[in-house]
Amino acid sequence: MGNLPTEGYPLCDLGTIARLRGRFDEALQHLQAALDLMRQRGDRPGEGHVLSELGVLHHRMGQPQEAVELIEAAIAIGRDIGDKGLESEALNRGAEALLALGRLDDAVNRHQSALDLSRTAGDRYEQARALDGIACAWHAAGQEAEARDVWQEALGHFSDMGVPEADTVRNRLAAMDDPRP
């Protein structure tokens, strides 16, 4: 249709879908094209969202350091433009990459920042993601009781929203109760 101001958004969506399907090269092409369009158009929220998506892609590709750098740029854009949704989403995504790098304290701090911000903004989904992430970090650190309590809280949010992440958290809690190694 020749509508360049909005063309970057479906390209980003195509990149996300390709990532979810494990087609990383295709995802990278779509996301890079989306990023180029967002920058050409001066669409800062779109640019931040695509940078965050690129960060997730690099994380999934086993490149957590690159993921952290891309997501840091998305966080900065969110702060610059006052987009709390973008910022809290990117903080959670960045924390996941930090956890993959074994930087547990940094991951917890990022998730806590996302939790605080999303509570202020009233974003229950990002609150639940932050809680889940904090629990994952505590679990990785061997703090099982703390992880269980926080996962219970995350499960409540996810269940209330009726999102599939509730099943993921239920499975994590069930695995903690499973006596098998």
Q: What is the pLDDT of residues 144-173, one digit of tens each?
A: 999 999 999 999 999 999 999 999 999 999
| Averaged pLDDT, 128-150 | 96
| Averaged pLDDT, 51-80 | 95
**What is the average pLDDT score of the chain?**
93
Nearest-5° angle of CA 69, CA 85, CA 62? 30
Break the chain into its structural domains and give their ranges.
6-177
| Averaged pLDDT, 130-139 | 97
Residue type, 77: I
pLDDT value, residue 28: 97
pLDDT value, residue 142: 94
End-to-end Cα, the chain, rounded Å: 56
**What are the structure tokens assigned to 23, written together?**
């087609």
Residue type, 145: A
| Whether pLDDT at 177 is above 60 | yes
Q: At the fourth CATH level, which superfamily is domain 6-177?
A: Tetratricopeptide repeat domain (1.25.40.10)
Return the HEC string of 138-163. Answer: HHHCCCHHHHHHHHHHHHHHHHHHCC
Q: What span, in angstroms and rounded, lies between the C-alpha atoms of 35 and 15?
A: 11
pLDDT value, residue 4: 53
Q: What span, in angstroms and rounded, lies between the C-alpha atoms of 9 and 85?
A: 17
